[in-house]
Amino acid sequence: MKNLFHADKNGYYGEFGGAFIPEMLYPNVEELRKKYIETMQEVSFQKEFQQLLKDYVGRPSPLYFAKRLSEKYQVKIYLKREDLNHTGAHKINNTIGQILLAKRLKKKRIIAETGAGQHGVATATVCALMGMKCVIFMGEIDIARQAPNVARMKMLGAEVIPAKSGSKTLKDATNEAIRDWINNPEDTFYIIGSVVGPHPYPDMVARFQSIISEEIKRQLVIKEGTENPDYIIACVGGGSNAAGAFFHYLEDKNVKLIAVEAAGKGINSGESAATSILGEEGVIHGSKTLLMQTDDGQITEPYSISAGLDYPGVGPQHAHLFTSGRAKFLNATDDEAMQAGLELCKLEGIIPAIESAHALAALDKMEFNKEDIVVVNLSGRGDKDLDTYIKYFKFD
Amino acid sequence: MNRINNKLKEENTSNNKVEKLLSIYFTAGYPKLNDTVSIIKDLEKSGVDMIEIGLPFSDPLADGPTIQESGVSALQNGMTTETLFSQLENIREDVGIPLLIMGYFNPIMQYGVEEFCKKCDKIGIDGLIIPDLPVDVYHQKYKEIFERYNLKNILLITPQTSEERIRFIDSISDGFIYMVSSASTTGAQNSFGESQINYFKKISKMDLNTPQIVGFGISNRETFQQATKLTSGAIIGSAFVKFLKENSINQINEFVDRIIK
C-alpha cells in the first residue's frame, strides 16, 4: 500500500498523530504498538473476528440504493447501512476487534469512555460476550441526558462511573479513562471508541472499521460494475466511521472523500464542534491533531445537538486529510441535520442517528452530475435520539 | 552551573548528616490569582529546597482530583501562561532556590516551545517537567532548544519502566530523574508498601548517573523519610495543595515544619 494517508511506523499522518503520553502509560501503549498488527494478522484472530462480524454483528451490512432520496438530489445515492449492525451503529466493529486483542494480551479488565453512550454500549456488549469485567467512564452531564444507554450498559453488566471533572462530558470521560489506565497498568485494557488517542489507537481503530470500505468495494461492483463511487460522505466527530468508510479509498484520488462536521448553532456562534475550521494544532488525549482551544492552549468545550460529534479534537488522520486537501470538510448545523434526518424518515423509512443525519445534510450543499455515485455512510440508527427528535419537532 | 545541579551537589556534600532535598509543587494562580510570588517566597523562607510551579491545564491527564481542582480554580481565577510569566518577572531578585515549571505540553506548544524556553531562561527558571512530552519526541525535537536556554527537562520513570529504558532515560537526563513512586495519578498516600520500597531499592542498586527525586504519594514526614532513604529527595504536591485549600497561605511554614523539622 502506498502510504500518503495511512499511519507511518511511529503513528504519524504528516504532522499529526504520535503518542504524547505520560511515562506511566508507556509500557501499555508500547506493548500494544508492538503487537497490534501482528496479532490482527494472525489466522486465528482473523477467523474469530470475521466469524463474529458475520454471525453476531450481522455483517455484511447492506449497501442500499436509496431510490427516493436519489430522485430528490438527482444523483445515485447508496446508503451503507451500519445502522443495521447489532447495537445500532458502526461502533461494534471496533469493540469486537479490540476485545479479541485484549484477550490475546491476557488482560482481565476492560475500560472505555463514552459520550452519547453508543461506544459504551458496544463495549459493554462485547464484554458480556467475552465474560470480561467492564468499566465505562461517562461524563456526569451525558449520564443525565442519555439515560436509556446508561441503563443498557448496566443491563449488560458494566459499571458506569460518572466523570465529574472539567466539563463533565466526553473529553472528561476520556481523561478519567486514561487516569484509570495509569492507576491499573497491569490487568487493564483500554478500548478507545474512535480514531483518537495515542498511536497505535487511531490506526488500530481505523483498521477495525475498514471493514466498511472493504464491503462497499465488493458491493458496489455488483450493483454498479465499479468498486469506486464518485463520493463517499461520512460524519466526523472523532472520526471512526469516516475512517472506516474512507480506508480503502484513501490512496485513490478519483474517489472524493467528504467529511461532515457538526456546526452546532453555527460556525461563529461559539456553540459548534467544527474542529477543522475552529481548531488549531495541539495535543489532546495523547495525539497531536487539530483541536478547539483558547489562545492559551486550554481545551474548550464543543457543542452539537448530536452527542456523538461534540468532541473538541478530531482523529489525527482526519487532521491530515483536511490539511492536505485529500478530504473535503463540510459542516452541518443542528437545524440542517435535524431536517435531513427527518427527510430520510419520510423518503426512505429509515430513522438515522443524528450523527449520521449530519452526513445526509451535506447532500444539499453539494453539486452533483446525474450519473455520479454517492455513498453515504449511515453510521447509526436514530432510536437513541428519539427524545431529541421529539423535542426538536414537537411530536409530543 | 544550573541551580538544580548546584543544589543536588550541595546536598550530597554536606558531610556529617546527609540532607535530603524537599521540593514542593503548587498550582500557580491558586488559591488566588496573585498568590504565586508570595507562596514561592514563603516556601523558600520555610526551608524548602526546590519549587515546582504548576502551569494549570484544562485536561491534566496525570493528576488526581486535588491538583485537578486547583487547576480548575486557577484557570477560573484567570491564570494564563503570560500572566504567570509576568508574575515571575522579578522573582530572582528575592529567590535563590531552583525553580521549575511543571505543565502539560499543549499550552507550551501554543505559546511556542522556543519562546516558552526563552522566557523561562530570562526569568531564571531552571527546569521543566512536562509529563505528556514523550522522551523520544523531546530527545529528537526539543533537547537542543532546552539546552540552548539552560533548562533541564526532568524525565519520569515509574515502577513499570523497564531497566533498559531507565538506562536510556538516565543517559539523556540532567538535573534529576523524577521517580514516580507507584502506578498512579498524583495524590497523597499515607505510607508506602513493600512493593514501593522494593522499587526504591531496585533503582538505588542500578547506581544511575542522575540523582533521583521521588514524587507522587508523599504527604507527611513518614512518607518523606521513606521516599528519601535511598534517593536524593522527594516532591510533595497534592498534600501541599490540599493544605492551601484548608489553611491560609500565611501558614506555609507550619506545613513545611511538619515534614522536615
- Give chain B positions within 8 Å (CB) of A297: 57, 81, 106-111
- Look at the alpha carbons of B34, B40, B41, B43 in this order and tell me if their dihedral is positive or negative: positive
For residue A368, the surrounding DSSP H or E stretch is none
From the list B42, B44, B49, B52, the catalytic residue is B52
Tell me what the pLDDT averaged over chain A comes to. Answer: 96
Q: Does A297 touch chain B (CB under 8 A)?
A: yes
Alpha-carbon span B250 to B260, nearest angstrom: 18
Per-residue confidence band for A116, with pLDDT thresholds at 50, 70 and 90: confident
Rg (CA), chain A: 19
B65: closest chain A residue by CA? A165
Other beta carbons less than 10 A from residue B201's beta carbon: 12
Q: Does B141 touch chain A (CB under 8 A)?
A: no
Q: List all residues of chain B from 142 to 161 with a beta carbon under 8 Å from chain A.
A: 155-158, 160-161
Per-residue confidence band for B1, with pLDDT thresholds at 50, 70 and 90: low
Q: How far is CA B172 from CA A18, A138, B1, in A?
A: 21, 39, 17
- Give chain A positions within 8 Å (CB) of B157: 23
Give pLDDT, residue A145: 79
Per-residue confidence band for B183, with pLDDT thresholds at 50, 70 and 90: confident
Give pLDDT, residue B156: 97
Alpha-carbon span B221 to A209, nearest angstrom: 53
Give pLDDT, residue B13: 63
Residue by residue, what is the 3-state secondary structure of chain B?
A: CCHHHHHHHHHHHCCCCCCCEEEEEEECCCCCHHHHHHHHHHHHHCCCCEEEEEECCCCCCCCCHHHHHHHHHHHHCCCCHHHHHHHHCCHHHCCCCCEEEEECHHHHHHHCHHHHHHHHHHHCCCEEECCCCCHHHHHHHHHHHHHHCCCEECCEECCCCCHHHHHHHHHHCCCCEEEECCCCCCCECCCCCHHHHHHHHHHHHHCCCCCEEEECECCCHHHHHHHHCCCCEEEECHHHHHHHHHCCHHHHHHHHHHHHC
Phi, psi of A221 (to 5 degrees): -55, -45
Per-residue confidence band for B10, with pLDDT thresholds at 50, 70 and 90: confident
| Residue B49 identity (one-letter amino acid) | D
Q: Which of A21, A22, A293 lies closest to B106 in CB terms?
A: A293
Paired sense of beta strands B152-153 and B156-157, if any: unpaired
- Give chain B positions within 8 Å (CB) of A17: none
Q: Does A27 touch chain B (CB under 8 A)?
A: yes
Question: Cβ distance A61 to A26 under 8 Å?
Answer: no
- Give the whole-number percent of chain A exceeding pLDDT 70: 99
Alpha-carbon span A228 to A76, nearest angstrom: 13
Which one, of A293, A340, A355, lies nearest residue A117 by Cα? A355
Q: Does A286 touch chain B (CB under 8 A)?
A: yes
Average pLDDT over residues A114-142: 96
Give pLDDT, residue B191: 78
Give pLDDT, residue B15: 54
- Give the whole-number percent of chain A exceeding pLDDT 90: 93
The pLDDT tens digits of the residues spanning B185-239 come to 888 667 788 889 999 999 999 999 999 999 999 999 999 999 999 999 999 999 9
Q: Does B86 touch chain A (CB under 8 A)?
A: no
Alpha-carbon span A243 to A234, nearest angstrom: 9
Instruction: Output the CA angle B212-B172-B112, nearest 5 degrees.
Output: 105
Is the pLDDT at A110 greater than 70, yes or no? yes
pTM: 0.96
Residues 6+ apart with CB under 8 A from A321: A5, A13, A246, A250, A257, A259, A327
The pLDDT tens digits of the residues spanning B57-66 come to 999 999 999 9
- Give chain A positions within 8 Å (CB) of B137: 18, 20
Alpha-carbon span B157 to B214, nearest angstrom: 10
Residues 6+ apart with CB under 8 A from A187: A107, A108, A109
Instruction: Output the CA angle B63-B66-B68, nearest 5 degrees.
Output: 50
Q: Give the residue carrying C-alpha cell 464518485.
A: A230
Is the pLDDT at B134 greater than 70, yes or no? yes
DSSP secondary structure of A225-275:
S-S--SEEEEE-SS-HHHHHHHGGGTT-TTSEEEEEEEEET-TTSS----H
Mark yes or no for CB contact A297/B65 under 8 Å: no
Phi, psi of A233 (to 5 degrees): -115, 130
Give pLDDT, residue A396: 80
Give pLDDT, residue A266: 97
ipTM: 0.94
Active site residue B63: yes
Mark yes or no for CB contact B82/A184 under 8 Å: no
Q: Does A161 touch chain B (CB under 8 A)?
A: no
Q: How far is CA A254 from the centre of its chain?
A: 24
Q: Which domains does chain A have, with CATH numbers?
A: 13-52+91-205 (3.40.50.1100), 58-88+210-393 (3.40.50.1100)
Give pLDDT, residue A348: 98
Catalytic residues of A: 91, 113, 379
Backbone φ/ψ region at B111: left (φ over 0), alpha (ψ -120 to 50), beta: alpha
Average pLDDT over residues A188-197: 98
DSSP secondary structure of A305-324:
SSTTT--SB--HHHHHHHHH
Question: Cβ distance A170 to A193 under 8 Å?
Answer: no
Question: Cβ distance A295 to B110 under 8 Å?
Answer: yes
- Give the whole-number percent of chain B exceeding pLDDT 90: 89
Q: Which of A24, A175, A286 lies closest to B183 in CB terms?
A: A24
Whether residue A200 has a cis bond before it, omega within 30° of 0: yes
Mark yes or no for CB contact B183/A185 under 8 Å: yes
Per-residue confidence band for A169, with pLDDT thresholds at 50, 70 and 90: confident
Is the pLDDT at B11 greater than 80, yes or no? no
Q: Does B105 touch chain A (CB under 8 A)?
A: yes
Determine the distance in angstroms separating the CA of A291 from the nearest CA of chain B, rounded to an integer: 10
The pLDDT tens digits of the residues spanning A66-92 come to 999 999 999 999 999 999 999 999 999
Alpha-carbon span A377 to A359, nearest angstrom: 8
Determine the distance in angstroms separating the CA of A317 from the nearest CA of chain B, rounded to an integer: 19
Give pLDDT, residue A146: 85
The pLDDT tens digits of the residues spanning A357-375 come to 999 999 999 999 999 999 9
Is the pLDDT at B139 greater than 70, yes or no? yes
Q: Does A242 touch chain B (CB under 8 A)?
A: no
DSSP A363: G
Grid coordinates belonging to B99? 525553580
Give pLDDT, residue A108: 96
Is the pLDDT at B69 greater than 90, yes or no? yes
- Give chain A positions within 8 Å (CB) of B107: 296-298
Give pLDDT, residue A307: 86
Q: Which domains does chain B have, with CATH numbers?
A: 3-13+20-260 (3.20.20.70)
A184: closest chain B residue by CA? B183
Grid coordinates belonging to A210? 475498514
The pLDDT tens digits of the residues spanning A307-341 come to 889 899 999 999 999 999 999 999 999 999 999 99
Alpha-carbon span A51 to A48, nearest angstrom: 5
